Chain A
Amino acid sequence: MTSQDHLPPTRAEKRQAKRIKRFDNPWMNPKLIWGAALLLGIIAMGIIGRFVWDPDLVFTGSSMLRLPPVGFENLRGQAGSMANPLGTDGGGRDVLALIIIGAPNTLFVGLLASLIGMSIGIFLGFSAGFLGGRTDDIIRVSADVMITIPPLLILVVFQSAFGDVSLTMMALLIAGFVWQSPTRLIRAQVLSMKQSGYVQMAQLSGASTSHIMFREMMPNLVPYLFGSFIASVTTSIVTAVGLEVLGLGPQRIPTLGRTIYEAINAGALIQNLWWWWGIPTLLLAIIFIGLLLINLGLDEVSNPRLRRLS
């Protein structure tokens, strides 16, 4: 695909050169950047927000009830004010404070759950793929069995038994249900990689199992791992929000899902308190779009055929 003679480069060749240069660093693709920017924006909002806004406004009774955002009126004809720029909910909680504290919390649960889930998945996936035999059988079968169990069902039971749970506890519970897919994916990659020359060479030269697994094979799996990680963050957040919307998450710690639960429970739709459920829903949408973009971006990193011509 490179030019064979010494003529000055044609237009197509220039474009080709540009493209190659551009993909010198596949990590710098716009999808990845945009996705990361959205998520970092949410994190930044959580960090900066805590300094410029009063986080105590997330608690019941801290402001007047059902105030609309600035520039709107509620059913009673009250206008929004700068004291609560995004309005308040039916319990007098400030919506801006709710999202400043709640959105990072939602993200935190997703990240922590999939970090733990991925670590389990990497360990089990490598063990299964590399060691084979009985170990592989046990891990494969248990992952296959776990994959068929709908996590929400089990988690609903768990959470109702625990009553009030902390964010970390919730992340731990969810982590128990997001390790299967990474395990299978990594096992499959390891199995194919095991046949490749460099692994066999390493084996012949007497490298230890852990050296081969984590020093030789792992770096080649990084794009897959990232992709898998982002996918499980998405799954974890969906699960967490699902539980919260059912009212089963932490009780006093604000999360986006819990805010939506309270809105539904208190009749926010019929009262047209759109800011109460709408703003958290929008934030969730932003988180998911961010994760999707990162996932697409990582796909391009690991699969060069997806890279578009500019």
Chain B
Amino acid sequence: MKLGRLLLATSAVALAATAALAQDVARENTVIFDLDRTIQDPENFNWMTPGTKRMHGAHQTMWEPLFILNYGTGEVDPWLATGFESNADSTEFTISLRDGVEWSDGEAFNADDVIFTTDIALTNEDISSREASTIKAQVASVEKIDDLTVKFTLNDPNPRFIVENFGVRIFGSFLIMPEHVWAGQDPATFAFNPPIGTGPYTFTSAASNRAIWDRNDDWWGAKTGFMDLPAPARVVFVETGGEESRAQLMAANQLDAAQNVTIGTFEAIQAQNPNVIAWYADYPYAAADPCARQLEINTTVAPWDNANMRKAVANIIDRTQIVNVAYEGTTAASQTMFAQYGSMSPFIDAVVEAGYGLPARADVAAGQALIEAEGWSKDGDFYTKDGETLSVQIHVNSASTEYTRTIDVIVEQLQRAGIDARAVPVENGVFWGEVLPFGAYEMSYSWLSCGSVNEPWASMGRYTVADVVPVGERSPGFNNTARWDGPAAESYSAIMEDIAARPLGDAEIPGLVAEAYAHLDAEMPFIPLVQAAKLLPMNETYWTGWPTADNYYNHPFFWWNHTHQIIHNLEPAGN
């Protein structure tokens, strides 16, 4: 009980701090979201540079996307833009911007801002965010047709251009910055403080563990009739720490939406606070996440630069045990690298039919045979070669029990098979900022092939040789952090170029996917593990209208750029 009190006391102190800051806005007018990481540089709002610059509320409340992909309908809903047109071969896209959009300082939002921001991404060598890298790789030029119309000309045909760059397909979108503030600044070092945006909230304050955003009652959307003002007068993002404090805050109604928790914790929260809901009303509660989990491998580090050693690890991993222990049965083993959405099944089926589907259970003997064929022999518990023990360090983001427990399971599986595996937990910000992009790991747990939700290229195209950089240099947009190179990778990249140029729905794509997948299967630059599911507790004590399977206006991942929709859908519960 001592620990319990300590935790409660700590939470109480944290709450008192939050309460003191929020004293001018009543709790029932505030919506509090959970933040799963430390804000390393709370004074900096330059989203084009690395760090926690967006998911602490900035792109959920202040910066709006041009479009939002609706996961329920598959449509691209217009937001700051009203629509787009493309030419027949998908090399030119003309975007129409909404009339009447204003920055929060009263300046008009128009084509000049779009062109200015795109130009930064095209010309500045030092900015590195994934969205800016993608624009740079795809766009040849951008021109202004009139104040509300912009035309993008692409290097290569890309039928997915809008959803990929401006549609919040995964996590973020290419955010437009105000030219009148950014002009004359160095985009690589500009801090953009105080920040402004077009969204219905403006920045109030931030510290390393929280950010506060207050409603701008003069928001353009309400004035033009685009949408009503959102109901919450204040939005707070607060770092809660581990699962226990997340759960206690949720049970005590001091949090309205929490990050992922285990199913046991969710049931315990619900037992204490019946107002807490999740995506599904019943087991398994969790919403399918489009980012399937995988074991990332740095293919430049011996002995994992050897494809057979990587295949051995793939054989030793037992996906069913990961599902049972780390996810408690709430998800499924991955068959391929893809998210197992219905819209992806033609491609998944093609891969499985070609014989490259992954087994749900391990074949340890086959894995060990591969290791032994490479000249390792078992000496005691572990394999050794030339006096060196076969070992691996697996970097894991410590922000969620899901991550650490999956790696615990994998470490045990590898240990039992004779590989001296160790988990190296790292803080969320360090993991994404320093470990993954620079290849500063042997293996790690993440979801860097994430991208595809209705076509295969977005995921597969992330592993081409064009994105290979040496260890120590930042991988462009987290693409090919495995640094997978060589003849197989080159053949694979050639097929990717072919797929990229084809229109969506081309009948030959599944066959090409299977052909390309042969290289992935032979070389295993990463090992797909399990499908991801997020169990996000949402609290109906103060706010209703949360996204659920029964109220599917979009998915519930409130750290994404589409959270504008969630906030607009919230209604006071009247408590």
Interface residues in chain A, defined as those with a beta carbon under 8 Å from any beta carbon in chain B: 59-62, 65-66, 75-76, 90-92, 163-164, 247, 251-252, 260, 264-273, 277, 281
- Contact between A164 and B423, CB atoms less than 8 A apart: yes
Binds A, one of B21-29, B31-39, B230-238, B408-416: B408-416
- Bound: A59/B325 CA distance, A: 12
- Contact between A164 and B268, CB atoms less than 8 A apart: no
- Contact between A267 and B247, CB atoms less than 8 A apart: yes
Interface centre among A91, A267, A271, A277 (most CB of B within 10 A): A267
Known contacts A251-B424, A266-B401, A270-B251; A60/B409 CB under 8 A: yes
- Bound: A61/B362 CA distance, A: 15
Nearest CB to that of B400 among chain A residues? A265
- Chain B residue contacts of A277, Cβ below 8 A: 3
- Chain A residue contacts of B244, Cβ below 8 A: 264-270
- Contact between B271 and A164, CB atoms less than 8 A apart: no
- Chain A residue contacts of B247, Cβ below 8 A: 267, 270
- Chain A residue contacts of B425, Cβ below 8 A: 247, 251
- Bound: A98/B408 CA distance, A: 15
| In the complex, per-residue mask of B96-120: 1 if CB is within 8 Å of any chain A CB, else 0 | 0000000000000000000000000
New contact pairs (16) apart from A267-B262, A271-B267, CB-CB < 8 Å:
A60-B412, A62-B412, A75-B264, A76-B267, A90-B405, A164-B423, A251-B423, A264-B3, A264-B242, A264-B244, A266-B262, A266-B405, A267-B247, A267-B261, A270-B248, A272-B268
Nearest CB to that of A269 among chain B residues? B4
Nearest CB to that of B430 among chain A residues? A160
- Contact between B265 and A270, CB atoms less than 8 A apart: yes
- Contact between B424 and A270, CB atoms less than 8 A apart: no
B330 to chain A minimum Cβ distance, whole angstroms, is 12
- Contact between A61 and B393, CB atoms less than 8 A apart: no
- Contact between A247 and B398, CB atoms less than 8 A apart: yes
| In the complex, per-residue mask of B167-183: 1 if CB is within 8 Å of any chain A CB, else 0 | 00000000000000000
B189 to chain A minimum Cβ distance, whole angstroms, is 28
Interfacial residues of chain B within 246-267, with CB under 8 A of chain A in the complex? 246-248, 251, 261-262, 264-265, 267
The contact of B264 among A60, A260, A271, by CB within 8 Å, is A271
B398 to chain A minimum Cβ distance, whole angstroms, is 7
- Chain A residue contacts of B423, Cβ below 8 A: 164, 251-252
- Contact between B248 and A269, CB atoms less than 8 A apart: yes
- Bound: A61/B320 CA distance, A: 11
- Chain B residue contacts of A265, Cβ below 8 A: 242-244, 401, 404
| In the complex, per-residue mask of B378-415: 1 if CB is within 8 Å of any chain A CB, else 0 | 00000000000000010000100100110011011001
- Bound: A266/B405 CA distance, A: 10
- Contact between B265 and A267, CB atoms less than 8 A apart: yes
- Contact between B328 and A65, CB atoms less than 8 A apart: yes
The contact of B393 among A92, A164, A247, A266, by CB within 8 Å, is A164
Known contacts A264-B3, A266-B401; A252/B264 CB under 8 A: no
- Chain A residue contacts of B2, Cβ below 8 A: 281
Interfacial residues of chain B within 402-444, with CB under 8 A of chain A in the complex? 404-405, 408-409, 411-412, 415, 422-425
- Chain B residue contacts of A272, Cβ below 8 A: 268
- Chain B residue contacts of A281, Cβ below 8 A: 2-3
Interfacial residues of chain B within 261-298, with CB under 8 A of chain A in the complex? 261-262, 264-265, 267-269, 271-272
Nearest CB to that of A162 among chain B residues? B424
Interface centre among A65, A251, A268, A272 (most CB of B within 10 A): A251
Main secondary structure of the interface of A (DSSP, over half): loop
- Bound: A117/B423 CA distance, A: 29
- Chain A residue contacts of B60, Cβ below 8 A: none
- Chain B residue contacts of A264, Cβ below 8 A: 3, 7, 242, 244
8 tightest CB-CB pairs across the interface, nearest first? Answer: A267-B265, A60-B408, A267-B243, A271-B268, A270-B247, A163-B424, A61-B325, A265-B242
For this complex, into which size category does the number of interface residues on chain B fall?
A: 35 or more
- Contact between A163 and B393, CB atoms less than 8 A apart: yes
- Bound: A271/B264 CA distance, A: 7
A48 to chain B minimum Cβ distance, whole angstroms, is 24
- Bound: A90/B326 CA distance, A: 9
Q: Is B91's beta carbon under 8 Å from chain A?
A: no
- Chain B residue contacts of A62, Cβ below 8 A: 412
Nearest CB to that of A163 among chain B residues? B424
- Chain A residue contacts of B272, Cβ below 8 A: 270
B334 to chain A minimum Cβ distance, whole angstroms, is 18
- Bound: A47/B246 CA distance, A: 39
- Chain B residue contacts of A61, Cβ below 8 A: 321, 324-325, 408-409, 412
Nearest CB to that of B401 among chain A residues? A266
- Bound: A281/B272 CA distance, A: 25
- Chain B residue contacts of A66, Cβ below 8 A: 264
- Chain A residue contacts of B261, Cβ below 8 A: 267
- Chain B residue contacts of A247, Cβ below 8 A: 398, 425
- Contact between B409 and A266, CB atoms less than 8 A apart: no
B38 to chain A minimum Cβ distance, whole angstroms, is 13
Known contacts A90-B262, A251-B424; A266/B243 CB under 8 A: yes
- Bound: A269/B423 CA distance, A: 25
Query: 5 A-B residue contacts at CB 8 Å?
Result: A75-B268, A251-B422, A264-B3, A270-B244, A271-B267
A193 to chain B minimum Cβ distance, whole angstroms, is 42
- Bound: A92/B265 CA distance, A: 15
- Bound: A281/B3 CA distance, A: 9
- Chain B residue contacts of A65, Cβ below 8 A: 264, 325, 328
Known contacts A61-B412, A66-B264, A91-B405; A269/B325 CB under 8 A: no
- Chain A residue contacts of B328, Cβ below 8 A: 65
| In the complex, per-residue mask of B485-522: 1 if CB is within 8 Å of any chain A CB, else 0 | 00000000000000000000000000000000000000
Interface centre among A66, A75, A260, A268 (most CB of B within 10 A): A268
Nearest CB to that of B396 among chain A residues? A251
- Chain A residue contacts of B268, Cβ below 8 A: 75, 267, 270-272
- Bound: A271/B272 CA distance, A: 10
- Bound: A62/B415 CA distance, A: 13
Nearest CB to that of B322 among chain A residues? A61
Known contacts A59-B412, A251-B425; A267/B405 CB under 8 A: no
- Bound: A66/B265 CA distance, A: 11
A47 to chain B minimum Cβ distance, whole angstroms, is 21
- Contact between B265 and A252, CB atoms less than 8 A apart: no
- Contact between B424 and A60, CB atoms less than 8 A apart: no
- Chain A residue contacts of B324, Cβ below 8 A: 61
A242 to chain B minimum Cβ distance, whole angstroms, is 13
B535 to chain A minimum Cβ distance, whole angstroms, is 12
- Contact between B265 and A271, CB atoms less than 8 A apart: yes
- Bound: A273/B412 CA distance, A: 23
The contact of A270 among B269, B404, B408, B415, by CB within 8 Å, is B269
- Chain B residue contacts of A92, Cβ below 8 A: 325
The contact of B267 among A59, A60, A75, A251, by CB within 8 Å, is A75
- Chain B residue contacts of A270, Cβ below 8 A: 244, 247-248, 251, 265, 268-269, 272
- Bound: A300/B4 CA distance, A: 37
Nearest CB to that of A56 among chain B residues? B416
- Chain A residue contacts of B325, Cβ below 8 A: 60-61, 65, 91-92
B297 to chain A minimum Cβ distance, whole angstroms, is 18
